[in-house]
Chains A and B, each alone.
Chain A
Amino acid sequence: MLVLLFILFAGLAIGCGLAVVAQRNPLYSAISLIGVFISLACLYVMLAAPFIAAVQVIVYAGAIMVLVVFVIMLLNVEQEERGRARLKFLVPTAVALSAILIAEVAFILVTVQEFRVNPSSAPSNVGLTHSIGTQLFTRYLLPFEITSILLLMAIVGAMTLARRGGLLSPNARVVPGAQVLPLSMVDPNAEPDDLTPVAADTSEEAARTLGVTKRD
């Protein structure tokens, strides 16, 4: 029974994984990737790691891939054009890297068979919520906190890059991504209802257009 389920989900994972690479339409690739994540979650459940399975679905399938699909839909990426591969050097690189990977897998298979140990019959509690929580907040507290600060920095960095309009007054309300703004929003000295459109990608550019000094 377990073997049958394993074959089913492993097959699904591999099939979806191949589809991610083979599909020409980016949205199909994204959907296949969701399939991979969900099959992996099922495999985690079979390995008695329900917490990891749930987190896999919530974080990867439910949050990250939603963003990926969102971006594909928003940019309306057309089907990738066939032929004229611009990055030709990637083909030999890929062949070399996959050769190394296959060699690695073969090496592991051989060595594992040499040092085979009997799998312990006692149920492991590695993947359970309680044990993960305990370990994360006691033994691995420092790496855990460092990782969260790293993620916070990434978010702040992304926000800074996305909102490069440095001239905006602090109480201005800007739609993220908008580059054409009314003059009154950009220049604090302008009339409040001056709706002259101003296009600016960077604060320097905006400052030059308006002939004002950049505020810090």
Chain B
Amino acid sequence: MDTAIDIVLKLVAITVAFTVVLLIVAYTVLAERRVLGLIQGRLGPNRVGYGGVLQPFADLLKFILKEDIVPDKSTRFIYFLAPVIATMAALMTMIVYPFGPEIAIPFTNITIPLTIARFDIGLLYVLGITSIGVYGIMLAGWSSNNKYSLMGGLRSSAQMISYELALGMSLIGVIMMAGTLDLGQVVENQSGWHGTHWYILFQPLGFVIYLIAAIAETNRVPFDLPEAETELVAGFHTEYSAMKFALFFLAEYINMFTVSMLATTLFFGGWNVPFLDLIFARGTFLFGLVSALGFVFKICVFLFIYIWLRGTLPRFRFDQLMNFGWKILLPLALLNIFITATLIYFFPNL
């Protein structure tokens, strides 16, 4: 009986979390278009609803109603499978992140954790699922039977393999300081000094490497070579239309969201809002609520940085991309590990 209640509770948690995340993602798309408009001195979409707030739903409706064209000589099964893999891999990492501390429901004595699943290899799980996500793009490029798509898929796989290394290496410093791979524990370790004991203070180099590698992993400007529109039409999703294209689009934005969550969790204290424990006692409902909102706020800052970069930077050339990843980022990440290990050896109490 208890397991049945458990499963129902988990399903509810998954539904709530995914709905909230998808809503945020939908509004990220709108925010991107409005902010890009601001940067480029124009308005952006502002006609659907007040200031364009209903634009994401209009977009969704359009995606559903558009004709779905499947190229004649595509490899059917894989062509259909690719967007599914991309979206699923993007969504699956969501379950390990701690969205907030344990929260006490008012007027009852129930406390619920604001994490869907907590296990002691949380970070490895995230890295593993992320590395599966690349197949969505590769297979899409291959199965479309289009040379631009193929080029996009090849570029994407080369890019993701290269930057995955730097990404993983940049996280090792934090793991060494935290002494655990459990993301919930990592966040709790950062709650010292009234919630300001963030690992960014000790790992600035690791954070910069992570941020750059994460942008490359999500195929965003300035690393958006897999879909470079000036060379490859639209890269790996050239032949995709209607809802299948929307799934790739969605996967990209969910990935942006999850790497922002990981950055927040590992470097910026997760749900720890500075000095909040001086106002509300730990474990109360308001403490949990404000912490969760703080978590979302930090993610939104990262999402804004993504959009800002897109409006500011030009695209890399492919050889620059490879040289940068292998000859600069990876050695720097190794150096970061070395420095961190030395510091931990001499100051074990930091």
Contacts and interface: CB of A to CB of B under 8 A. Distances in A.
Contacts of B127: 54, 58, 62
Contact of B319 (A61, A129, A175): A175
Interface size class of B (residues with CB under 8 A): 20 to 34
Nearest to B3: A1
Contacts of B128: 41, 54, 57-58, 61-62
A63 interface: yes
Interface string B60-82: 00000000000000000010000
B132 A57 contact: yes
A58 B141 contact: no
B157 interface: yes
Interface size class of A (residues with CB under 8 A): 20 to 34
A19 interface: no
Q: Which secondary structure dominates where chain B touches chain A?
A: helix
B135 interface: yes
A113 B276 CA distance: 61
Nearest to A76: B150
Contacts of B344: none
Contacts of B154: 70, 73-74
Contacts of A74: 154
Contact of A57 (B120, B131, B139, B181): B131
B302 to A, nearest CB: 24
14 contacts: A27-B142, A50-B119, A50-B124, A53-B121, A54-B121, A54-B125, A54-B127, A57-B132, A58-B124, A58-B128, A70-B154, A70-B161, A73-B154, A129-B120
Interface of A: 27, 31, 34, 38, 41, 50-51, 53-55, 57-58, 61-63, 66-67, 69-70, 73-74, 128-129, 173, 175
Given A54-B128, A73-B141, A128-B120, 18 more contacts: A38-B132, A41-B128, A50-B121, A50-B124, A51-B121, A55-B124, A57-B128, A57-B132, A58-B131, A62-B130, A63-B131, A66-B157, A66-B161, A73-B157, A74-B154, A129-B120, A129-B121, A175-B319
